[in-house]
Chains A and B, each alone.
Chain A
């Protein structure tokens, strides 16, 4: 069955970077997109970015362009999301999820990122 497993919780200082991994299994890795979605405490969902693991093409939310980078490793079926210049507003649960270009289906367990001095 399809599984999406993320790396563990992170605590970072303002200005630092965080890199979260997302490993997909149960299907051909290059077949489906991987999306990143975050949810700040008590807030709604925010779509961040997506990557096509097959060709490596990416798309980012405009407000995160310049701070967000996604990469993939097809040898380990893993996608990485790196967010730089962290600020307190980046404190959130970060989800990765597999799907197609315009919707997501299988979600990871979420990764808590806390930005605090």
Chain B
């Protein structure tokens, strides 16, 4: 199972919105509504931000939203804040009953 495709980096200024894409195939993202997103700060464990395409766990800011169209999922962060600077990963369930991560996207808040 190949890693899902994410842009290596994105950037934005405080207050702006950014979108991170995550492209897979009909064997993973396109097959189920089982995409989740994780935020990872340096030297920290990842944190769940979105699950099952659009759902936010309790405690996650509503500035984080997500969607899916076909084989591509997207994470949008609105009203960028300095603490949003981190690495972001998508994760999808697959038709092989396994999971696969995206390659990760480094978000820089300018």
Would you call A44 an interface residue if the criterion is a C-beta within 8 Å of the partner chain's C-beta atoms? yes
A50 touches B99 (CB 8 A): yes
The proximity string for A residues 13-35 relative to B, scoring 1 for CB distances below 8 Å and 0 otherwise, is 00000000000000000000001
Q: How far is the CB of A20 from chain B (nearest CB, A)?
A: 15
Interface SS of chain A: strand
Task: Find chain A residues with CB under 8 A from B3 CB.
Answer: 44
* Selected interface stretch from B18-26, B46-54, B68-76, B78-86: B46-54
Task: Find chain B residues with CB under 8 A from A44 CB.
Answer: 3, 87, 89, 101-104
Tell me the complex Cα distance, A110–B36, Å: 20
Would you call A59 an interface residue if the criterion is a C-beta within 8 Å of the partner chain's C-beta atoms? yes
Task: Find chain A residues with CB under 8 A from B48 CB.
Answer: 99, 103-105
Tell me the complex Cα distance, A103–B56, Å: 12
A102 touches B93 (CB 8 A): yes
Tell me the complex Cα distance, A105–B87, Å: 17
Select the residue from B57, B89, B93, B99 with max chain A CB neighbours within 10 A. B99
Task: Find chain A residues with CB under 8 A from B91 CB.
Answer: 45, 47, 103-104
Nearest B residue to A109, CB-CB: B45
A59 touches B36 (CB 8 A): no
Task: Find chain A residues with CB under 8 A from B100 CB.
Answer: 47, 61
The proximity string for B residues 8-49 relative to A, scoring 1 for CB distances below 8 Å and 0 otherwise, is 000000000000000000000000101010101000011110
The proximity string for A residues 41-69 relative to B, scoring 1 for CB distances below 8 Å and 0 otherwise, is 00011110010000000011110000000
Tell me the complex Cα distance, A46–B51, Å: 18
Tell me the complex Cα distance, A46–B45, Å: 13
Would you call B62 an interface residue if the criterion is a C-beta within 8 Å of the partner chain's C-beta atoms? no
5 closest A-B pairs by CB: A103-B36, A102-B34, A44-B104, A107-B45, A102-B93
Ordered by A's residue number, 15 sampled pairs between the chains whose C-beta atoms are within 8 Å are A44-B103, A45-B89, A45-B91, A45-B101, A47-B98, A47-B101, A61-B100, A95-B45, A97-B45, A102-B36, A102-B99, A104-B36, A104-B48, A105-B57, A109-B45
